[in-house]
Amino acid sequence: MRERLIVALDYSDMDSALALVDQLGEAVEFYKVGMQLYYSVGNTVIEELAKRNKKIFLDLKLYDIPNTVAGAIQSLANPNIHFLTIHGLGGLAMMKAVVAAKEKYELTHLNILAVTVLTSIDEEESKRLDWPGQVSDYALTLASLSKDAGVNGIICSPEEITRIKEKCGKDFYVVTPGIRPAGADVGDQSRIATPAKAMKAGSDYLVVGRPITQAKNPKEAAIQIVEEMSRR
């Protein structure tokens, strides 16, 4: 179960990020590098994590015209990156261009994940955006479109896991942020669940940040979350 926990390295400097990785040691083997850290230190953090034999999820949420995003895939062709995110809102043509680029450059190690709806967006915010129906319906539509485009999986909140798995199949990765252990601070997240609930719903991987990185004992927090994941 440990390999299905992804810890978000939400830092802006290398020293803080690697200090946490070294503190967590063998308790965690999969890490998410987002915009904040990657834009600060670039591929150096990818190389350092690879030296420590860690799996890497590069969460840049690429979103642009098809040709531009396909070019970015070529630039990010690092054999140490296991997951890479694009935005499902980029549309079918953009996602197909990414899949074509992945095949062209023979990036067999790389799994492309499409972001559906950010976990910070609730029903009230979706109305401001004039989205049709419920947030969960919109996420399901984007997941289905992503599947048709040929990407490897999606990012969605805990609330959409079961419906997306039923629609897209068990081999289509569902990676889930918005994970909060019982009693943890919700922060800026709106659509959340406990680790056990998310795993029971069918998630393949859970992304956890602040409940571990801001814990008094991050390693113990990570171990407890893995234990809770096993209680599904």
- β pairing state of 153-155 and 55-62: unpaired
In 3D, which of 173, 159, 187, 161 has the Cα closest to residue 10?
A: 187
In 3D, which of 223, 156, 227, 218 has the Cα closest to residue 193?
A: 156
Whether 32 is catalytic = no
Tokens, residue 1: 């179960």
In 3D, which of 81, 147, 138 has the Cα closest to residue 114?
A: 147
Treating both helix axes as pointing N-terminal to C-terminal, what angle do 161-168 and 135-149 enclose, rounded to 10 degrees? 30
Give the 3-state secondary structure of residue 174.
strand
Q: Which of 61, 102, 147, 165 is catalytic?
A: 61
> Residue 86: what residue type?
I
**Helix, strand, coil percentages for the chain (3-state, nearest 5):** 50, 20, 35
Active site (catalytic) residues? 61
